[in-house]
Amino acid sequence: MHRALQHQLDAEYRDARRLYSEEIAERGKNPDALNMLALVEWHLGNLDRAEQLITDAVRLAPGVPAIRANQNLLTCAFGLRKFKHAIFDPHSDVHPVDPGGRHLIHVCEIAGDPSGGTEHRAIELSHRLRAAADVVLWTQNPNLPPIFTSRNQVRVIDESRGIYPQGGTLFVCGSYIRMGAWFRQASFRRVIVLYNVVDPIGFSTLLEQVCLPGKPKVELLFASAWMKNVTGLPGSFEPSPIDTDLFGPGVPARVESARFVIGRLSRDDPVKFHPGAAGFFRALASQGCEVRLMGATPIMPGLGGARQIEVLPQNTVPAVDFLRSLDCFTYRTHPSWTEAWGRVVTEAMSVGIPVVAHADGGYAQIVRHGENGFLFHRDSQALELIAQLRRSPSLRKAIGTNARQTIVDLCGTNGFEQFARFYLQ
């Protein structure tokens, strides 16, 4: 069980499945093994198998809170399929007749977190679409930070005054958004929803609000292929668009310098950090690396005041400037938080620095190990990969160049055009 759990935490899901299955075969139906195996099968996209396993676990141990909590999570994950009748299937459904003229697209909404990937996704997408459509950004937060309002006109939803999205296409940019009563009154030709946070409970709540009689079938976008796989619902993957001109390489790498700077950035949120993160960064510092961390205040107590580790609160400097100060970027989150996509990883790739990232994240679908980045399962693997990059400036340059080209091909003006066309149907 211990080995299986370790494999699971390290995102080695097939190894974990094998060991949990062996445990059950040798010792009979163990509720703990059934419970954990259910989560593994869900992560692998085997929804029916996961449902049976968690049902057996609850039957054997009905009073165990952890098993009940997982049952609640998985029940909502399985329950997403009940909305299938109200979800647009691109293989069989057709869009309402286009009335012609210039498209109107409502992007709802900007919640207001300056470090939020969803907010920056919404803004960048609106910029991409404005050449071909009238795009309106919406928020329910009347006190947005200037980072959102200085360059963008964002309208505030006010149901009491009848100010809310109406007509055209509604794009709900984020599965954690909650719709007000205005949605029942409004009329749209198309309704599009992005599933971008691994939260089937919250996503189920949102679908309850938008899958209504008399409304268009809801078209789903998924932040990654994995997110689509674990829902059992039709829809399409769409990457979070990045301004590849803004997130471009800085000054040439210090090829002949002995200095090697590794870092990461995120929100100042504990779920963004693996439990062993502080020890991992201490190990890098002890090996002579300079470590820069922005948004890492939750792990500061464990860093022990190491002189070679610099910690900055989130948003201290612009993300692109921070990334350009690094020779390598590394990323791993808490096992309870799987990144649906991981925009910050793709921003680092766009800047042209090599990425060493944990294999458990939506971004993994575009990282070709050893070609445009590296994926690891255990911290020991990451330390060795980073050591290789530190020893070889030429390897860093090759990986970084390939990484940037990957993001340009996916998110650059030409690469993203196929995704932009989706909104203009």
> What is the identity of the amino acid at 288?
G
pLDDT for res 257: 60
pLDDT at 172 over 90: yes
Average pLDDT over residues 331-344: 96
> How buried is 16 (Cβ within 10 angstroms: 0-12 exposed, 13-18 middle, 19+ buried)?
buried
Average pLDDT over residues 99-124: 93
More confident residue, 100 or 249: 249
How does pLDDT run across 46-81, given as a tens digit for each residue? 999 999 999 999 999 999 999 999 999 999 999 999
How does pLDDT run across 304-328, given as a tens digit for each residue? 988 899 999 999 999 999 999 999 9
pLDDT interval class at 25 (50, 70, 90): very high
> How buried is 95 (Cβ within 10 angstroms: 0-12 exposed, 13-18 middle, 19+ buried)?
middle
Same fold, 2-83 and 261-411: no
- Whole-angstrom distance, CA of residue 346 vs CA of residue 239: 10
pLDDT for res 252: 61
CATH node for 261-411: 3.40.50.2000
pLDDT at 193 over 70: yes
> What DSSP element (H or E) covers 154?
strand 154-156
**Nearest Cα residue to 297 out of 285, 318, 315:** 315
* Domain locations along the chain: 2-83, 87-238, 261-411
Average model confidence (pLDDT) across the chain: 95
| CATH architecture of the domain with range 2-83 | Alpha Horseshoe (1.25)
* Confidence (pTM): 0.94
User: Which pair of tokens denotes residue 388?
Assistant: 């290789």
Q: Does domain 87-238 have CATH number 1.20.58?
A: no
How does pLDDT run across 256-305, given as a tens digit for each residue? 467 999 999 999 999 999 999 999 999 999 999 999 999 999 999 999 98
pLDDT interval class at 96 (50, 70, 90): confident
